[in-house]
Every structure is written in structure tokens, then in C-alpha cells.
Amino acid sequence: MAGDPVLDGVPCMLIRGGTSKGAFFLAEDLPDDPRERDALLLRIMGTPDPRQVDGIGGAHPLTSKAAIVSRSEMAGIDVDYLFLQLGVDEAVVGTTQTCGNLLAGVGPFAVERGLVDAEASTTSLRIRMLNTDDVATATFATPDGRVDYDGDVGIDGVPGTAGRIDLDVGSGPERSLLPTGNVTDTIDGHEATLVSNGMPVVLLRASEFGVTGEETPEDLESRPELVEALEGIRRQAGPLMGLGDVTGQTVPKMFLLSAPRAGGAISTRAFIPHRVHAAIGVLMAASVAAGIRLPGAVGSELALLPDDGPDLIEHPSGVFPARVSVTRDDEGTWRATSTSIRTARKIFDGRVFPRPRL
């Protein structure tokens, strides 16, 4: 990193990826030391402050995110992508999860910054997600060698339409869909399915918590007993999923499942973990869709699965079409891959000036 970030600013591109928004950086434009890097990003976002009034954060976890991108040294991979979840009212930085929504912006950003040469009409590139070591292929329009953000694809949770971005995500052959090896586990007296298909999630029956599945995020967030109960389960699920102590982390995500109401496969309300998602993340949807396809899993008895086409995962602002393939190998291990359609849009490109200190 060159120069004084307070005086000279830091090159930054703000991108809406899927139903999230984040600040995108080249790795070379940030400090090498993770502690210095995290402190700088918190100052850029305006954290800690529930309004993030002195930074570019949007006063919500879905808009307090950062993506760090660099050329990859791994064979067959074009770029590496590190996702950071920045706290809003707390000065915390999460690195254990990735973000499938911001993943939609990684390919366009790589082309914009010259990390990858654009093709004449459509560009495909391979992305290694450093947080989870999963690999994604992103395909998007680049007419005349430039990213075209315009298009007629609409996704629930985002106004208007934009250009189509295809994302294919697969985990390594050594990784199981079920981190505990069990289709269900019991935590605090509740049957739970612990799944990781790009995002660690815990699937629970909404009815066991007095939730119908029709509640708004604001309604659910206003129930302290519910939030406390789910947090207790989340902290116990973390070590079971190989995540260690998750007290200060944002994974696993907690899902309350109920029968679908809008013609979809399942209805969801996602705690991420303390706020309730207004929609659903790409990899969250992929994990839920894979989970409900497992015989005996929580939610499988509620799901209406199509014979063909995507599983429509219902969420507070609409539905998310998740295409997953679930298989079981000769040793009985469940694995999955996912395909999704997202959009992204460049909002600004320039230099961001962090406040001088936290």
C-alpha cells in the first residue's frame, strides 16, 4: 500500500452485488497486515456507529461489506476473492464466511481493474473464494471488451433490472455437505440440520419457535426471547460444524423454515445472525436448497420440490431461484454444487477517505 490513506485516499469501487452492497479493493491497495487492513476498513465504513454516518457503510450488515480481489497464483484460477463482513455498531470484522451476493461483482471488478482481459462479447473467469476455499465460475456480458451492467434480469430485493451474471459454485471433493456427518442433530431440544453448501447454515422448524413464516424482519428482530434462543443454538452449532467459537462471528446463519406460501419450495426467515435478512444470500439459498433435498432433513417434510427447474426459496421480499445438484458417494457422503443467476452494478469508482482513527 502506497501513500497516506487519510490524506491521499484509497482506490475503491462501490458495487451492488446481488442484494448486498460492498466496497471493492485491490489487495495491493490495502495494508498487508490483517490488523492494519481491518482497522482501515472499519474507518472507511464508519464503524462503530449504528448510522455509519462518518463512512460509506449503509447502517446495515448487508451494506457494510468489503471484497478484496487479486490475481491468483493457483493454476486454473483467475482471481482470488476475500470477503470481509464489517460490523455496524461494533468494531468487528468477520472473515469466516464468504458472500455469494458480492461474488456477483467480483468478475466485473476484475475486468474493470485489468486483472482479467475481457472477451469480445461474454467473459467467463474462475474465482477462488479464500474464506472457504470454494471455486466459482462467473460469466457476464462484455460487449466491445467492457462490462455491460444493463439488462433485463430482475432479482427480488433489488429494484429494476440489470445485466445477467451466471455463477456456478462447487466445493472441493474432500468437503461434505453435512459438516457433522448427520442429517439431523439435536441442540437445546430442537432438531436441526447443519448444512454447508458454500455458506454454513442451521435449518430449524419455524413452528417450534412460535414463528409462522409470514413475519417481517422487523417483527422477528423485536422478539428478544427468539433472538436469544437462536443465538444459543448458533453458538453450540459453530463447534459442531468445525467453525470453533462463533461468538464474535457471523456464521453459521440461522434459518427458520416453514411451508411455502407463494408457490415456492420452502419459506425462510434468516438470522444473519442477529439481524434478519430482508431477502436471502446466494450461498445461503444454495445451502437451504441442498438441505431440504436430503431425506429426513429439517424442512424436507415441508418442502414442495419441483421435478425440474430451480427450487424457489421464499424470503421476506420475494423468491430466490436456487439450482442445486445433490449427490451421495459410495461412502455415503453427501455433496452438492449450485448454479444461480445474479446481477451487479458499479455505483462509483474513485478514492475513499477514511476517518483518521476509530
Domain map of the chain by residue range?
Answer: 5-164+343-352, 185-342
CA distance to 17, 155, 188, 345, per residue, from 342 (Å): 8, 7, 36, 11
CA gyration radius, the chain: 20
CB 82 within 8 A of CB 67: yes
Superfamily designation of domain 185-342: Diaminopimelate Epimerase; Chain A, domain 1 (3.10.310.10)
CB 347 within 8 A of CB 15: yes
Q: Which 8-state DSSP code applies to residue 277?
A: P
Q: Does domain 5-164+343-352 fall into CATH 3.40.190.10?
A: no
Strands 10-17 and 344-352: antiparallel
Same fold, 5-164+343-352 and 185-342: yes
pLDDT in tens, the chain (358 residues): 778 999 999 999 999 999 999 999 999 999 999 999 999 999 999 999 999 999 999 999 999 999 999 999 999 999 999 999 999 999 999 998 899 999 999 999 999 999 999 999 999 999 999 998 889 999 999 999 999 999 999 998 899 999 999 999 876 555 789 999 999 999 999 999 999 998 999 999 999 999 999 999 999 999 999 999 999 999 999 999 999 999 988 899 999 999 999 999 999 999 999 899 999 999 999 999 999 999 999 999 999 999 887 999 999 999 999 999 998 988 889 988 899 999 999 999 999 999 998 8
Strands 311-315 and 318-328: antiparallel
CA distance 336 to 313: 17
CA distance 323 to 202: 19
